[in-house]
Structure formats: structure tokens, C-alpha cells
Structure 1
Amino acid sequence: MSKAFEPYELGGKRLANRLVMAPMTRSRAHGPGQSPTPLMAEYYAQRASAGLIVTEGVQPSRGGQGYPDTPGIHTAEQVAAWRQVTDAVHARGGVIYLQIMHTGRVGHPALTDLQPVGPSAVAAAGQVYTHQGPQDFVTPHELTDAEIRATITDYATAARNAIEAGFDGVELHGANGYLIHQFLAPNSNQRTDAWGGSPERRIRFAVETAKAVAEAIGADKVGFRLSPGNPYNDIDESDTTDMEATYTALVEALAPLNLAYLHQLEAPGVRDLTLRLRKAWPTTFVLNPSTGREPTGPAELELVENGTVDLLAYGALFLANPDLPARLARGGPFNTPDPTTFYGGGEKGFTDYPTLEEAGA
């Protein structure tokens, strides 16, 4: 049997296997004040056989919200509601980290009555979904130095709140074109001060945020997600020389912090960079590998077996298969994800995917 199904130690916690449920936005935080619900607790508990669950992106402040019905971790009401999720997962023997996601310029005043913020006053091309329908991205407010420092504090406070809510740790979302990624990318960060310009200055926000969160809850409870070369949300890292210099500098600056893990969402065509970052990273390396149009599947288990990764992250297949580790161990069969139910709604496409036992397989 593949090493993927062997236990693994992470941040003082024993993971049942080396399979990670990747963070996936589901937009079902219909509880008071955008807090999680019992249905969300059921959803995560169903998937507690993952070695590690990383939650959907959770905003550290009201202004950090970029999509409808995404949960927060910045009020006492939200913290209390998250406890039902962590209790449910722990009752089934699972380990769960909360992903802190500030969406930055990706958002709209229709969602929060606030102007989105970013490293520079540069609007992203495209639209965002709101309850009033699709809306063009607006030009964000360029964060001042003081506002940048306050935002870093928001991340640290959110991390403390997550631990209070019973999470085993947090993951900082530095990928997919959200705020941390916006600071890393030259097209969204056009600053000329100490927070922009050279790769060394563009990584500063990411590094300072990671330091603040590590100081708040302990480095062994902090993961960091990145996605070099990922164009999502109008990020342009097409200058590969600059991109590789930026992420090499970022990993070299984060490495001395001894965070719990580095989690890479792999863009197409960057495997050589992936291998270099993996080699430079001193602790656990998690990969959500590039697999083209198909979701990560059984073939990618070889990445654990051959030592390319320590932990392997699955997205869509974990969404549709609550007992994914058992299915992978036997080579399937797998439920097919239903994209029409990915965002919003209720239990359909959320908690009603059957396990092997329920399907009589």
C-alpha cells in the first residue's frame, strides 16, 4: 500500500494518512453574521478521514470578504459557531486547519458596503458574483502603511480566534489572486515604497503576516499556501524570471520561521520550480498538483510514494467523495462532482454525496 495511507506527524498532531482535503469555497455560511451552520459541521465531519482538512477560505475581517455567504472568524458569534465544526471533526478523529483568506481587491461594495482594498489602486479585470448578480471588479483603495500593519494584525487576531474555536492550526492563503498574492505579483502591486517594487519588497507583506501569525499561535500551527504562476483573479506572473525570483525569495524568507507546512497549488508548467521550492523548504511540503482538466486522482498518489511531496491535497474529489481515502485505497469508484452545486445552496451537492458503504459498493 502507498505511503499516502500511512500516518504522519504534523504540528504535534498525528494525521491518519497523508491525504489533505484542499480548501474550497462553498458559500453556505447562512448562519447569523455569516457564521457556519450545523450543515457545514456535518459536511466537514463527513470528511474527517482525511489526514488533514483545510477549510474553505475564511475572512479575517469584514472588509476581507469577496464572495457572498463566505464565513468569517472576526466576531465572537462566528468563533462560537465554528466550535460546532471543530468539535464534529475531532469527534470523528480528524485534524482541521482554518484557512485565513483576505480577498483584497477581489470583491465588491455590494457585499460589504466597503471599498475593497489592495496593494495598489489597480482594478482586477473581470467580475465577481453578488446577490444582485455579477458585478465588475472596482478599483480598490490602496492600503497605506498604517493600514497594511493593521491588516497584518487582523490576520494574527483571526488566527487566535481560530485556536479559540478549536482549530488545530491555520493556513494563510497566499494564492489564487487574493490579498497576499496581490502583494507578490507585479501587475497588482505597483508600489514604490517598502512594500513593493523588487521581489524582496513584494514578498514583505507575506513574510510579515506569517511572522505575526506564528508569534500569535506558534509556528507549528501555521501553514502557508502559494500558487506561483497562477493567473486566477487577473494575476500576471508571466515573466518567469521575476516569478521564480519572487517565490525563491519568499520561500527562503519563510523557511527560518519553521512553519508547519508549505502548501503549493501548482499551476501548469511549473514542476521544475515546484521541485526547487520543495527542496528549499525545511518542513512539511503539501502539493495540490497540476492535473489539467481532470481532478487530482489515484495516479497522483505516486507523488507521495516517490517523495516528491509529504502530503497530497485533493479538491474536487474530496468535495464529491466524503470517504475519499478509502476510495483511493481501493482504486475507486468515485462520485462525480456536480459543478452546479459548488457554490451556495443547501445540502444538495454538499452533504448528500454517498460513501462507499451507503452506495453499497
Structure 2
Amino acid sequence: MPNALWTPIAVGDIPLPHRLAMAPMTRDRSTPEGVPTELNAEYYVQRASNALIISEGTQPSPDGQGYLLTPGIHSDEQIAGWRKVTDAVHTAGGRLVIQLMHAGRIAHPGNTPHGRQPVAPSAVRPAGTMFTASGPQEMPEPRALSTGQVAATVEDFRRAAAAAVAAGADGVEIHAANGYLVHQFLATNTNHRTDRYGGSLANRIRFAVEVATAVADEIGPGRTGIRLSPGNPTNDIEESDTRELYPALVRALAPLGLAYLHILHLGDEEGLDVLRGLWPTALLLNRAGADIPTRAQDIADGRADAITVGAMALANPDLVERVRSGAPLNTPDRTTFYGGDAKGYTDYPVHIP
């Protein structure tokens, strides 16, 4: 394994002992009120040897929830629940940032305590179904946010960032990828707006830049990361101008001095190299589907400063130790990824030499 993987690095204000980090993964195991539990704390503390844990997507407001049993970070009870998680991770020597994820139109009213219609940049219904307590249901047409409501949503992110720090998190990651709200503002098929948040490329990136600016102002840029997924069609996203959009967005974000940019990379090597050249601070790379040696080579080659892994970290609580020693990896059980109890969550075996 390349030595570069095991060298320390500072990601903004967060010192990391090495460069193998855990990617955010929705697990749907919080309470119906969005409060993290002792079981959630156990799950994260098992994985505290990762250089950095990026938490599952966490709604910054009640309207930000899309799925069943996802955590929030906008109420006192949620802050207290996250405090149990962060205290446990820190006691184990780990570092954790909370990913702020507003699902936007990828939602169903039946999955939320308030039962309201989802919100989005425009009233464009997503294709596909959403799992609910009563089974899969078509996602409804969302309600388009007014210009004033867009500004209020930016403030929701600001308050959620402050709440995350109050809960003991080392920082936050803004989820601007995978077809959720921030990504919906970027994409031409989901953003049909005619105000200052729609139409031109400069207008479509505005919401992402305003969210990042607000969060960085609130908790400091050294505690703020952002995740992008250029060209990702997940959740019915169509990007007609990826090669122009993402360099423009990264150029607009660069002056903020954020701790890191986290890219879910789907294979456009030239596009990745362009973004790497434009980004002034740490770049975390999730090369989907690649093995650890391939991902580590990105560090050695200068494409990334650290790497993140998802399913491998899910299935191997001692992933760092296994990679260091060359031990075999557990196989992820995809039937237990979402919802349920400890099975497929905290019961994966650790390797005993």
C-alpha cells in the first residue's frame, strides 16, 4: 500500500492521522423524530480509526427530510443525540463531521413528522418511487420555493451548522451531490426558475455558493466541507453542461477557503484534473467502485489529498487495520443497508490476527 495513504494531513482545522476516511452513507436507523441513538453511537465509534468519519446525510430542517428514520440537526433533542455520537467517537480517538443533507424533491410526505409537500427549486416531479412505512410510493410533485424561501433555506443550513458544532462535531459537510436540493439547483432538468437562482449558469450555482458562504461564516471555513458529484444522474438528475458548470462552481467556492472539497468521481478523469487544479485546499476523492490500492494511487499521483470509502467502511468496522495488515475484507450485506436493527449495522466481525 502506498506510504502516502498513511501520512498525516490537516484538512482545514481538522488534523487527520492518515488519509483513509469514511464516506457518508444513509442507514435509516434514527428515531422517527430524527434523534440519533446509542446504537448509532456504537456504529460510528466502531469506525473511529478512519481518518475522518463523514456522517450519514442529516436534515438541516424539517422540510429537509426525504427518507424514513434519518437524523436531523435542528432540534435540541437531535443535538443531544448527536452529542452522544461525537463524544463516543472523540473518546475513541476519532473525528466526525456531520453531513448536512436537504433532500429537496427526493422525498415523500409520509416519511416526515409534518407530512408536508416536499420543496424544490421548481415544481418538477422526480421519476421513481420512495420507500415509506406503507411501502413504495410515487414521489409527489414538489412545491417550488419562492425567492424568499430560498433565502430562508440558506439560513436553515447556517443554523444547522451551528447546531452541529454545538453537538460536538468537528465540522460539517454540505451535501451538494447525488440529486438532493443543492444539486437540484445546479441541474437544468430540475431548475426551471426565472429569478436570480435559475437560468444562467451563474444563477444556478448561486444557491450552493450562498449555502457554503453562510455555513463558513457561521462555524469557520476550516470546519466546512462540500460534496459534489459531477455528471451523476442519481435521483433523476440531468446535467446538460457538466464541463462548464463544475469549474464555474469550484471557482466561485475557492475564495471561501473551505476545509475540503469532496468529489464523488464517476470516471471523467479530465474533468477531475480540471477541478483538482482549481481547488486550493484539500480534495477528498471517492472513486466509486475502485479498490483501495487504486484509490490510494490518487493520493500518490496528486489527484487527491485523502480518499473516502463507503460500503467497505460499512462492512468493515476495522477497515483501517485490515488495509494496513492486508487482511481480507468482509462482504457488505446490501439487504441490511437501510433500516432495521443491529444486524448488518453493528454486528460485522472484526479481523483477529
User: Is the TM value for this pair above 0.5?
Assistant: yes
Corresponding residue for residue 317 of structure 1 = 312
Q: Post-superposition shift, 1:12?
A: 2.5
Distance 2:159 2:303 in 1: 34
Distance 2:192 2:3 in 1: 46
Corresponding residue for residue 81 of structure 2 = 81
Across the aligned residues of Structure 1 and Structure 2, the Cα RMSD in angstroms comes to: 1.1
Corresponding residue for residue 101 of structure 1 = 101
- Segment drifting more, 343-352 vs 3-12: 3-12
Contact 1:163 1:217 in 2 (8 A): yes
Deviation per CA, 1:16-41, whole angstroms, max 9, x where unpaired? 210110000000002x6220000110
Corresponding residue for residue 20 of structure 1 = 21
Distance 1:224 1:13 in 2: 15
Percent identical across equivalent pairs? 53
Distance 1:265 1:117 in 2: 25
Amino acid at match of 2:285: L
Distance 2:100 2:227 in 1: 10
Residue 47 of structure 2 corresponds to residue 51 of structure 1: no
From 292, 299, 313, the counterpart of 1:297: 292
Q: Post-superposition shift, 1:297?
A: 2.9
TM alignment of 1:127-206, pairs within 5 A: 127-206=129-208
Q: Post-superposition shift, 1:42?
A: 0.6
Q: Post-superposition shift, 1:248?
A: 0.8
Equivalenced residues, count: 350
Amino acid at match of 2:68: P
Contact 1:66 1:103 in 2 (8 A): yes
Corresponding residue for residue 38 of structure 1 = 38
Amino acid at match of 1:51: A
Corresponding residue for residue 124 of structure 2 = 122
Contact 1:296 1:317 in 2 (8 A): no
Q: Give secondary structure in 2 for the equivalent of 1:356.
A: coil
- Segment drifting more, 56-65 vs 10-19: 10-19
Distance 2:202 2:214 in 1: 18
Q: Give secondary structure in 1 for the equivalent of 2:54.
A: strand
Corresponding residue for residue 347 of structure 1 = 342
Deviation per CA, 1:192-245, whole angstroms, max 9, x where unpaired? 2110111111000000000001101001100000001000000012x3xx1111
Distance 1:296 1:193 in 2: 44
Contact 2:327 2:351 in 1 (8 A): no
Q: Post-superposition shift, 1:326?
A: 1.4
Q: Give secondary structure in 2 for the equivalent of 1:286.
A: strand
Distance 2:60 2:109 in 1: 17
TM-score by length of structure 1 reads 0.95
Deviation per CA, 1:18-67, whole angstroms, max 9, x where unpaired? 0110000000002x622000011010001010111000000011111000
Deviation per CA, 1:298-341, whole angstroms, max 9, x where unpaired? 33211112221001010000000111111112233100000000
Contact 2:14 2:222 in 1 (8 A): no
Unaligned 5+ segments in structure 2 are none
TM-score by length of structure 2 reads 0.97
Contact 1:298 1:331 in 2 (8 A): no
Q: Post-superposition shift, 1:290?
A: 3.3
Amino acid at match of 1:351: T
Distance 1:64 1:313 in 2: 25
Distance 2:257 2:9 in 1: 17
Residue 265 of structure 2 corresponds to residue 263 of structure 1: no
Corresponding residue for residue 63 of structure 2 = 63
Q: Post-superposition shift, 1:296?
A: 4.0
Unaligned 5+ segments in structure 1 are none
Contact 2:14 2:223 in 1 (8 A): no
Amino acid at match of 1:15: L
Question: Any runs of at least 4 consecutive aligned residues in structure 1 with deviations exceeding 4 A, and if so which?
Answer: none
Distance 2:303 2:318 in 1: 24
Corresponding residue for residue 7 of structure 2 = 6
Amino acid at match of 1:20: A
Q: Give secondary structure in 1 for the equivalent of 2:174.
A: strand
